Structure 1
Amino acid sequence: MKLLVLPFGDAACASTHYRVLQYLDMLKKDGIDCEVLAPGEMPAPAVIAESDTVLVQKKLFPAHQVRTLRKHAKRLLFDIDDATWHPHGRKHSWWTRWRTNRRLQSIVRAADVSLVANLYIAGHLNALGGKTQVLPMALKAEDWPRSESTQAVRIRLGWSGAPVNLCYLEALEPVLAQVMGKHPEVELAVFCGKQPAFSTSLPYLHLPWRQGGEPDAVKTFHIGLLPLPTDAFSQGKSPIKALQYMAAGIPTIATPQAGSVEIGQGADCMFFAENPQQWSERLCQLIQDNELRGKMGTNARAAFEERFSSTQTYSRWKSFLLGT
């Protein structure tokens, strides 16, 4: 079998890495040949036709290019892990909204199957006439060691993320200052390529970002922080940091957006907080209760291994590629 991938980004793009590239070694072991094109590249019709399956990973091509893909592809899949039809950080013009919606509708109707990261995205694509299957985000379990002991003298609150998302952590500053003032045994660690711009002298340990350094950083956390904005785009996110915290076996406190709630559902490993008071209460509860942290951490790792390990999701991913 030959798989042709039209990716959204390169190897440094988290979406492309977690939705496609991390599975390539497994495909190779199963004798499946995979060619990954450059981001945005549209192959010639002959290249499309000689592939058994074409996978479009989140990229929204113009409708005429989608028609070309559909005409020549034996099997066409679309994969998406974000609510890209909603603006992210800036408003969309009417033209951008129209173009985005037209391109999205074009690919989801043309695809044999759309693979989506969560039920929120599935609902939207189904309404557009798509045929969806939920394939959750995943991580390689062997890359993620368990967190340090929950009985540590210093209790570390941890946040891991990209510089563009630091504003969500910075919005928690008043809560963090209050909680850390009550509990001198607590420290804050930030794994990021940029330091947070707190308005006060809130103490924190900056763990400089490095490629592949997430497991080493997150395993030093005892409580994972996952604040998100309450906007439409974030409703469709399946935050990879939620899975990182779960893989490390630590409890998480998160904003209750749809994708995050779906990840934590039934696992008893995640608290949700909608306002500063709830954030403060949940933080204090976990800080003061070593046993609860340990129990939730054990639940987190178990849920991760059962539902979000790449070895668990790969077999389903391959079956969608093969159409079996």
Structure 2
Amino acid sequence: MYQFVAPLESLGVRLDVRPFLDDVGFADLYRPGAIAAKIGHHLRGALRRWSDLGVAGRWDVALVHRDLWPFVGDAPLRRMRRCQPRWVYDFDDAVFLPNVSAANRRFRALKPARQYMELVSGARVVAAGNSWLAGWARAQRRTRPEDEVEVVPTVVNTDDWHPLPRGSGPLRLVWTGSHSTVRYLEAWREPLRRVARRIPELEVHVMGAHFEAEGVRVVSHAWGARAERELVASCDVGLSPLPDEPWSRGKCGLKLILYMAHARPAVASPVGVHPEIVCNGVNGILAEGSEAVADALARLLLDERLRRRLGEAARRTAEERYSVRAIAPRLAALLRRAADAPT
């Protein structure tokens, strides 16, 4: 939400961001172990959130992104209904499904699935990150107008994420993610091995998780916002694997959009939102199966003109459809609509 603060203010909407976790707490969230630290962060976050809910009526409308309260219990939602009945619910994952990262499996029982249904059903307007999520949201609001649920895609700030010179060095593939999503990349081990046999000097750069593949030169990187931009800029082709399962259908393609904003074409699984973002052979390549993925990667890596053409088209797609600049006016209109709705 922070990336929308300045653009919304220029449109006459002041956004006061109140996160549940601070930066340190968020960094610890996906770290294996650290149970005491995670409990401490969540207790402090709960106190902050309870206080924020009590004064939510000072604002014209509340914008709830994903979680109002990451625990079971109805009291926080009742408090918000009482203090601020006008809210927009914004979500960009299948949060209503029982999916928990490997680092936090012991907290699975605390995930409040029913809360998401009530947040959606009670919202004045719902902003869903893709059409599959929007369909689920409309199913929770059968008696409400369908146009109260809008698809508002995941975006990047294309002023920060912009094309940079590639520099010298061997051909490079890049994947960025986390410990909870590296299993998607693991499913592409065989195509990566095939490509590495054809291009022995190839490097596969992985940020945010540990990954190995026999016969493949893998370079690991710790995640960091600036480091992520620099890494993508230094590579040639992005990797965006995704299995065909319910949780994946709720993903909104952030990784793919980040590559595209940097004018780097990607090879992506034809799953979920990916076919909505990638026009196959125009601004990227959709591929399924080991042989097809390996062929797509080799094609892009060995044809610089093709990489450049698809990369330039990818950048245009990011600017026109998945940028803060493109979506901020829609978000401002959506917030005004919710603020003007009768209670």
Shorter-chain TM-score bucket reads: 0.7 to 0.9
Aligned to 1:163: 179
Identity of aligned residues (%): 26
Aligned to 1:260: 274
Among residues 63, 76, 100, which one is paired with 2:87 in the alignment? 76
Deviation at 1:29, TM superposition (A): 4.4
Deviates further, 53-62 or 241-250: 53-62
1:23-74 deviations in whole A, cap 9, x for unaligned?
1233444554433334151347761222101111111554454344234426
Are residues 146 and 70 of structure 1, via their aligned partners in 2, closer, same or farther at CA, if it must alter by over 3 Å? same
Return the letter of the residue paired with 1:119: S
Aligned to 2:50: 42
CA-based RMSD of the aligned residues comes to 2.9
Among residues 19, 24, 31, which one is paired with 2:5 in the alignment? 24
Distance 1:90 1:141 in 2: 29
SS of the equivalent of 1:78 reads strand
TM-score with structure 1 setting the length:
0.82
Deviates further, 45-54 or 310-319: 45-54
TM-score with structure 2 setting the length:
0.78
SS of the equivalent of 1:214 reads helix
Return the letter of the residue paired with 1:55: L
Aligned length, in residue pairs: 300
1:113-162 deviations in whole A, cap 9, x for unaligned?
01111101000010111631111111111112315459x77321111222
Deviates further, 47-56 or 217-226: 47-56
Return the letter of the residue paired with 2:151: V
Return the letter of the residue paired with 1:135: V
Aligned to 2:323: 309
Deviation at 1:267, TM superposition (A): 8.5
Aligned to 2:211: 196
Within 5 Å, give how 1:46-195 maps onto structure 2.
Answer: 47-61=55-69, 62-73=73-84, 75-88=86-99, 100=113, 102-129=114-141, 131-148=148-165, 154-192=170-208, 194-195=209-210
SS of the equivalent of 2:270 reads coil
Among residues 210, 214, 217, which one is paired with 2:224 in the alignment? 210
Contact kept, 8 Å, 2:174 with 2:237, in 1: the verdict is yes
Aligned to 2:309: 295
Deviation at 1:105, TM superposition (A): 2.1
Deviation at 1:202, TM superposition (A): 2.2
Contact kept, 8 Å, 1:264 with 1:270, in 2: the verdict is yes
Distance 1:267 1:71 in 2: 52
Deviation at 1:206, TM superposition (A): 2.6
SS of the equivalent of 1:298 reads helix
Are residues 132 and 250 of structure 1, via their aligned partners in 2, closer, same or farther at CA, if it must alter by over 3 Å? same
The structure where strand makes up a greater share of residues is 1
Unaligned runs of 5+ in 1: 1-19
Contact kept, 8 Å, 1:85 with 1:97, in 2: the verdict is no
